[in-house]
Amino acid sequence: MALLDTQPNQVKAASAMLIACIVKTIVETDATFGDRLIHNLDHAYANNRDRLGNDFLELITWTRELVKAGNLEVPRAATE
């Protein structure tokens, strides 16, 4: 089963992609924005990992990975 075969995973992937697109647009005028966002995502993950479920943590992780890579493409393994 591909990672994006379930509706919750599709919603998380779409949400992460939308956020990454917004970040990429902002970085065009503020080069440090992406790094600051990654720092804040790391902080949010660390502060909430014991209190919130896997869906929340996965969305933060997926968003972080897309922003850090600067690549607005879902990894092929997620769709196969």
Rounded to two decimals, the pTM is: 0.76
Amino acid at 80: E
The whole-chain average pLDDT of the chain stands at 83
Q: Which pLDDT score is estimated for 4?
A: 66
What's the burial of 25, exposed, middle or buried (CB within 10 Å: 0-12/13-18/19+)?
exposed
Q: Where are the domains of the chain?
A: 32-75
> What mean pLDDT is predicted for residues 25-31?
92
* pLDDT band for position 13 (cuts 50, 70, 90): confident
Identify which of 28, 38, 26, 24 has the alpha carbon closest to the alpha carbon of residue 73: 24
